[in-house]
């Protein structure tokens, strides 16, 4: 799977199989987080790796009782420590730090999906509860909680905004009716056609087996 396919087929998964995850894959996910871009390459992102069942349950409770999170065999809590970034960038520092964390998170979600694992970006949590549970210092920002495991559900692609609605040409507000054909970009149409083709082949193969 290439990068574009990986980005387009990643889904938020909230149901995991009751099987462990290879630590080699978790290593690759952490490495992907470390390789994310960061303002001034200050690399202020930190990762708390959690496997203990009781701690996972406590985290799930802290995530406003999203208990499905505890059923992922591995949870990684992504934090940033903005002290250095604030020193370099003044009042922009804290925002940069959160953006550094977000870049790491997205890299990690993509790295998980590329290896056949599933996850979900969890941002709804009581920060103080998470802080207490994992002994995260007060100067650190908790950016996201990422449960990792093998998916035990298939979810449809949540509806995305059409390009025409969100892309302006040259200046804010300049919309183009069919921006895809303006750019000679048919990615979405091709992907849909490939998916329809795959479905048809699968159906045909099943019919032949009967």
Ligand X SMILES: Cc1cc2nc3c(=O)[nH]c(=O)nc-3n(C[C@H](O)[C@H](O)[C@H](O)COP(=O)(O)O)c2cc1C
Q: How is residue 123 written in tokens?
A: 């941002």
Cβ 66 to ligand X shortest distance, Å: 6
Instruction: Judge contact between 118 and 11, C-beta under 8 A.
Output: yes
What is the Cα 137 distance to its own chain's centre? 24
Nearest to ligand X of 124, 201 (CB atom): 124
d(CA 69, CA 15): 8
Angle formed at CA 158 by CA 152 and CA 160, multiple of 5 degrees: 150
Cβ 180 to ligand X shortest distance, Å: 20
Nearest to ligand X of 38, 66 (CB atom): 66
Rg (CA), the chain: 20
Cβ 171 to ligand X shortest distance, Å: 27
The residues near 118 (Cβ < 8 Å, ≥ 6 apart) are 11, 13, 16, 112, 148, 149, 150, 151
Nearest to ligand X of 124, 169 (CB atom): 124
Cβ 92 to ligand X shortest distance, Å: 20
Nearest to ligand X of 22, 128 (CB atom): 128
Nearest to ligand X of 39, 105 (CB atom): 105
The residue ranges that bind ligand X (CB under 6 A) are 11-12, 14, 66, 120-124, 158
Cβ 69 to ligand X shortest distance, Å: 8
């Amino acid at each position: 799977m290439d990068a574009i396919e990986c980005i387009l087929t990643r889904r938020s998964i909230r149901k995991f199989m009751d099987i462990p995850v290879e630590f080699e894959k978790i290593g690759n996910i952490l490495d992907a987080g470390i390789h994310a871009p960061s303002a001034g390459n200050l690399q202020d992102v930190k990762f708390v790796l959690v496997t203990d069942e009781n701690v996972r349950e406590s985290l799930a409770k802290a995530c406003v009782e999203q208990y499905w999170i505890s059923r992922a065999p591995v949870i990684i809590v992504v934090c940033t420590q903005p002290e250095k970034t604030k020193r370099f960038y003044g009042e922009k520092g804290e925002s940069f730090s959160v953006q550094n964390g977000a870049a790491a998170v997205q890299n990690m979600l993509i790295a998980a999906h590329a290896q056949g694992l599933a996850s979900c970006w969890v941002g709804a949590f009581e920060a103080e509860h998470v802080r207490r549970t994992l002994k995260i210092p007060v100067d650190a920002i908790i950016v996201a909680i990422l449960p990792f495991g093998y998916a035990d559900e298939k979810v449809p692609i949540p509806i995305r905004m059409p390009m025409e609605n969100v892309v302006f040409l040259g200046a804010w507000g300049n919309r183009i009716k069919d921006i895809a054909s303006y750019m000679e970009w048919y990615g979405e149409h091709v992907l849909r056609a490939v998916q329809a083709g795959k479905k048809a082949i699968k159906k045909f193969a099943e019919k032949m087996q009967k």
